Every structure is written in C-alpha cells, then in structure tokens.
Amino acid sequence: MSFNVTPGKLSLNDLSQIYWESHSVTLSPDVKKNVEKAAAFVQDIAKSDTPIYGINTGFGKLSSIRIPAEKTDLIQRNLILSHCCGVGDPLPEKIVFLVMVLKILSLGRGASGVRWKVIEQIEFLLQKRVSPIIPSQGSVGASGDLAPLAHMTAVLIGEGQALYKGQILSGAKVLKKINRKPLVLKAKEGLAMINGTQVSTALALAGLFEGWRSALGSLITGALSTDASMGSTDPFNTEIQNLRGHQGQIEVAKTLQILMEDSKIRESHLDEDIRVQDPYCIRCQPQVNGACIDLLRQAAKTLTIEANAVTDNPLIIHALETKEMEMKIISGGNFHAEPIAFAADQIALALSEIGAISQRRIALLVDPKLNFGLPPFLVSHAGVNSGFMVAEITSAALMSENKHIANPCSTDSTPTSADQEDHVSMATHAARRLLTMNENLSQIIGIELITAAQGIDLRKESLKTLTTSPNLNKVLKKLRSKVSFLKGDRILNQDLQNASTLI
C-alpha cells in the first residue's frame, strides 16, 4: 500500500500507520510547483558572486571559503562522502523507511531548494523496498543528523550500502538492480539532504509508538495483578480522579474499572475489603500510569510538529511582501534538535516509570507476605520448586537498567566542528536509547502478565468460582495459547519472550 501525502499535514495516526506497516509514500503532485520554483531559484543564485552558505561556500567552519561555480556540484557530492562517518549497528529497516518518509516530507515543503528529481529518487527507493544501511551512532543532533543522513543519501548517488531483498549490496549495485540511475546532486542538494532532524525524529517516533503499546499493555497487566492480589477497585473511583482533573489519570482509572468489571474474584471481597489499603503499586495506578500517558501525549504533539517541519539550512523563503512572491534565502538554525531531545527524554521518563510500578506489582505477587494467600513465588511445593523467583529478579534487572538510561540526554552538550557548533542537543542517542528501553519494558510487562495470570489461575484452582472478569479472561485465553500454567519448575526464558511478544 502506498500513501499519497501532503507535506506539513500528516497526523500522528498517519505516521503510526507508516511506521507499523512500512507503507511506501509519495508526495501530492500539488507541491511540485513550489519545490521546483525554489530549486530554480537556488540554481540561479549559485551562479552569482554573492557568497551564500552551502551553495557557493564551504560548510561549517569552512564557510568563509568561496567555491567556484564549476565546482558547486562536486562539493555537494563530496559533502555526502565526507560525512559518511557513522558507526555502530545499522538502524532497523522500519526506522530507515520512516527516516526516508520524513525527509521527503521536509523537502516537499518547497523551502529546501532541491529538485523534484531528488524527492522522486527517495520515493522510488521506498516503493522498491530499498533500505539504505544507516549506522546508528555518530550524530549529536545539532547541524542535523549529519552522518546518518549522509549514509542514507549515499545510496541515492550510487554510493554506500543498502539492504534489498535480504541482501546487503553497494549503492551502485542496488540502483542497477532496480533500474535507477544514480542521482547527480546539484547546488545545495547534498546540504539539504544531511541537514535535518529526520533520524532523531524517526527514532523518537518509534520509541513513542512502541512505548504506547507497552503503556496500554501495562493497564491490562495492572488490572490482572489487582485481581490476582485481591486488591480493591475503590481507588479507581471516578469521583476521586475528577477531583484531581488530569486526563490520563481519569482515563486509566476508567479503563481499569472496565477491565475488571464483573470479576468474581472482586465480587468475593466487595463487602469486606481484605486490606484497609493496598500498596501504592496497586492503589496508585491511575496517578502513575496516567501521568506517564499524559507525558507520552505531550511528546507526541512535539514529534508530530517536527515530522512535518522543514529543518535544513539555509532555507528558501517564499516571501509575501510583493505580488511577485519574492523569494529569498536565509540561514537559520532549524536543524538544532532540541525539541526532539526533550521529547525523547520525556518518553524515557514515562517508559521507566511504567516499568518501575509494573515491577513492584510482580514483586508483590511473588511475596507470600503481600499476595494474600497465594503460594510463595506462585508455585505449588515451594522449596522443591522456585517458581517465579528469578523471573522477578529479571524484571528488577530490566527495571534498574531502564532507570539508569532514562537519565536526561538533553542537558548534555559538547562543542563540535571547531566550535562552530558549540551547543548540541544529543537528540539522536536520546531517541535511540528508547529502542532498548522499550525492549526492556515489554519484557517487564510480559513477566507481569505471566505472574498475574498464574495468580488468577491459582485462585481459580483453589475455588472454582473465583474467576476474573470476562475482559481479562480473554487476555488469559490468549496468553495460555503461548504460555502454559506453571505446575512445577521449567525453563522459563522462552515463556518470558512469548509474553513480551504478546505485549
């Protein structure tokens, strides 16, 4: 399936669909006129004697060096080759496709001065499922994601490497296989390709989309844990939440109520609640998970704006000062990725806290002092069997790792490029770490899913009438198709992975 989109108008839902389903994307032909008009303007000024950054000058600290007109194309090619300095594991294919989509969205706004042919080259690679190999490390999120975007652009010009039909091929070979000629970059086009926040934004969006699924999964596992521990639903009372007023808190409480509706376990102790108050990991789910959901939504607003933004430099301004639509070129700093760095840090905080409270519910369920009548570590013949003892330890290890790497990246900076780029955002690794955090979080919540299900099945085993709600029974049925009830000790690592995949 191919999306035909208008730059500047993509919704968060559009971006989510593109990410999850790896749609190819083409731009609306309506924007071609503005794109070509700006490109023609750039080609004209490239011939002038007036020094204009990145068009007839060097780059960064070399911007004082004038470039003769006959070499303006060469410096664009050299710019790409010299900036292919990324290291580390390649970015996942889904994220590379999203990077390419974000780049054509930015170029399609008609402020970058590239020809329509550049956009078509990226569209063609998307259509043919060609994924440039982009090393994951090497950007500080300042003058754009220079190194990673250079690796992407290299394939367009027949350089670098790409993944195509399961094979890693040179840029030249992959273009030959798809019957496409290498692109010859004109004035400013190389600069427009590597200036921009598309890599950090794609990574942050991936972190958001993956994290949102885990956030919703944690509401299901939280409801299961509440029932398994015979916790009270009174703290989820609507009036309590309304008195505070936070949207996420109100919605989480309502969701927990719906998930647990008609639970026989809950009904068995409605008249005389067993504990005066449950531990915070049960009682304060609306307050904690709701705040995390609000934080994710706030980050989502920032990233939706950024996905539709023009973030290279210098920019072609279609001024409205005259009837002739005067055009001018202005240097600025839209490439600085500070908004993405802040959004990534917000997402990291939310992911860390969702995992932290989930882990405490796991710890509660395996502890005979707290789980109200369930066997130690949720297994019969404890001592002979260790049950979920070490699964809880694994969840603690993952939680601790996430807490450590959730520390802010946006507050860090280091001067680069001979002090020309003297304040940087660190947005790219701020966003990249979300991939690890989401993997850890899905494992934590998966472990809670298994332990909560074990607790509920143990309640049912001891007294047949003690069943959970119809909604949660659907979850149990799905889980039990992948992970069986633990009667005695067995190797659990594949069970944990299966539960994480379900999350």
Q: Would you name the residues annotated as active-site residues?
A: 53
User: Cβ(295)–Cβ(350) under 8 Å?
Assistant: yes
Residues in CB range of 324: below 8 A, 6 or more apart? none
User: Cβ(241)–Cβ(286) under 8 Å?
Assistant: yes
Q: Two tokens at 68? A: 């003769």
Sign of CA dihedral 166, 170, 175, 176: negative
Neighbour tally for 50: CB within 10 Å: 8
Q: Two tokens at 415? A: 């001067």
User: Cβ(105)–Cβ(98) under 8 Å?
Assistant: no
Q: Two tokens at 262? A: 């008609």
Hey, is 228 helix, strand or coil? helix
In sequence order, what are the beta bridge partners of 169? 162
Query: How many Cα atoms occupy the beta-carbon half-sphere of 483 within 13 Å?
Result: 28
User: DSSP for 382-440?
Assistant: BTTB-TTHHHHHHHHHHHHHHHHHTS-STT----BTTTTB-----HHHHHHHHHHHHHH
The residue ranges of DSSP E strands in 285-396, in sequence order, are: 315-318, 327-330
Residues in CB range of 197: below 8 A, 6 or more apart? 141, 144, 145, 306, 309, 311, 335, 337, 340, 427
The Cα 395–Cα 157 span in angstroms is 46
Q: Is 36 exposed, middle or buried (0-12, 13-18, 19+ CB in 10 A)?
A: middle
The Cα 188–Cα 79 span in angstroms is 10
The Cα 33–Cα 31 span in angstroms is 6
| 378 torsion bin: left (phi>0), alpha (psi -120 to 50), beta (else) | left
